[in-house]
Structure 1
Amino acid sequence: MSEKENAKKSKIIIFASGSGTNAENIIKFFQNSKNVEISAVLSNKRAAGALKRAHDLDVKALLFDREAFYSSRDVLNILKDIEPDLIVLAGFLWLFPSNIIREFPDRIINIHPALLPKYGGKGMYGSKVHETVIAEKEKESGITIHYVNEKYDEGQTIFQATTPIEENETPDSLAGKIHELEYKHFPEVIQKLLEKNN
């Protein structure tokens, strides 16, 4: 193997719509990696905390609008310029367009705060998921990491982790447990996928 091949880093691009705690956790996990770099964090929301967190951690932070994502090829061209090994959705709320999915087959993954196929689909995100899981008297919840396809939360499952639901569980207390699972497992699953694909 040549030195140049040896020095090639796996590139990750993160998409996030919200506060960006998962994005920050992933950036910090790979911060000192010799093999992986976070090339950029992209967001569809100007006020997204994810953009500030990325900027504060010296990662390129890019804002885009609906037209750039769905109508023009602007976002697709950004991705093609960077050529990421993995595109990671960390709290990103828009449905991914099929032209990007076609361009990066089996290289786009998402994390969902429930045990799919239950409690997924359009509108099922954040506290809405936890409220519904508790209302349905489920005994456990968890996270699902899955590939992204043209339908919300219907791509092939890569990994799941569970947590029990206590009798006095609230949406907030459950959210805390889910965040812990996300922070622990999401970077590790990303690392395994990169190692498998290289």
Structure 2
Amino acid sequence: MLKIAVLISGNGSNLQAILDSIDSGILKCSVEMVISDRKEAYGLERAKQRNIKTYIVNRSEKNISREILELTLGKVQLIVLAGFLSILKGEIIEKFRNRIINIHPSLIPAFCGKGMYGVKVHEAAVSYGVKYSGCTVHFVDEGTDSGAIICQKTVPVYNEDTAETLQKRVLVEEHKLLPKAINYFAEDKIRSEGRKVFVIEE
């Protein structure tokens, strides 16, 4: 069974979606640990309620990526960034090449990169006047939101939308898309050719 580590910074609703998908039998994996760069993150409580190991890493430290690598190497096959705000750098990217994924609340390459996280993404989408937004699951590489795209889901953007109403609509789809992407790994359906990612359906 696929063993994963989930990295969070806040409420952990995407973590909860993963756990719910495991409970329902939709997702075939085990959450071995939950790592947060914020000690007050409610997602840690979600993990503790399930007796999942939790770790807090110091986001002010330059070696945060090294600390996470030491926690995960040899213990998990996939690292899932589920609302994790710190940027992973260095050796962990190479050691877990194509085995770190992130969910981003826009249709990459729109509204992504440095400074684009949380409600700021939705503020930018509403301000720009796009008719569609959504969410993206992508590989993590040396850049910020620059890794190859695994899957995406669109949602409509209405004229009366605020950043908060759009955020809620996108989050509903995030909770579906992230477990779906993890299952692709659990079922060994992911194949990559450069920036193109293929899901092999049997």
TM-score (norm 2): 0.87
Which amino acid is 1:147 matched to? F
Q: Are 2:100 and 2:140, in contact at CA under 8 Å, matched by a contact in 1?
A: yes
Maintained 8 Å contact 1:20/1:49? yes
Does the Cα contact within 8 Å between 2:65 and 2:92 map onto a contact in 1? no
Tell me by how many angstroms 1:15 deviates.
Answer: 0.4
Say if 2:91 is the partner of 1:99.
yes
Q: Which one of 29, 52, 55 corresponds to residue 21 of structure 2?
A: 29
Aligned partner of 2:170 among 154, 178, 192: 178
Q: Which residue of structure 2 lines up, in the alignment, with residue 40 of structure 1? A: 33
- Flag structure 1 segments of 5+ consecutive residues without an equivalent: 1-8
Pick the aligned partner of 1:66 from 38, 47, 59. 59
Aligned to 2:6: 14
1:40-68 CA distance string (max 9 Å, x none)? 00001010111111111221111111376
Count of matched residue positions in the alignment of Structure 1 and Structure 2: 189
Q: Do structure 1's residue 147 and structure 2's residue 148 form an aligned pair?
A: no
Shift of 1:27: 1.8
Q: In structure 2, how many angstroms separate the alpha carbons of the residues matched to 1:27 and 1:69?
A: 31
For 1:12 and 1:65, the matched residues in 2 are separated by 21
Greater Rg by CA: 1
Kindly indicate whether residue 162 of structure 2 is the aligned counterpart of residue 162 of structure 1. no
Tell me by how many angstroms 1:185 deviates.
Answer: 1.6
CA–CA separation in structure 2 for the residues paired with 1:25 and 1:102:
28
Query: Going by fraction, where is strand more abundant, 1 or 2?
Result: 2
Q: Closer, same or farther in 2 for the Cα pair 1:184/1:168, shift >3 Å? A: same
Kindly indicate which of the two structures has a greater share of residues assigned to helix. Answer: 1
Instruction: Give the 4+ runs in structure 1 shifted more than 2 A.
Output: 31-35, 66-69, 71-75
TM value normalised by structure 1: 0.89
In 1, are the aligned partners of 2:153 and 2:173 still within 8 Å (CA)? yes
2:79 alignment partner in structure 1: 87
Percent of residue pairs identical: 36
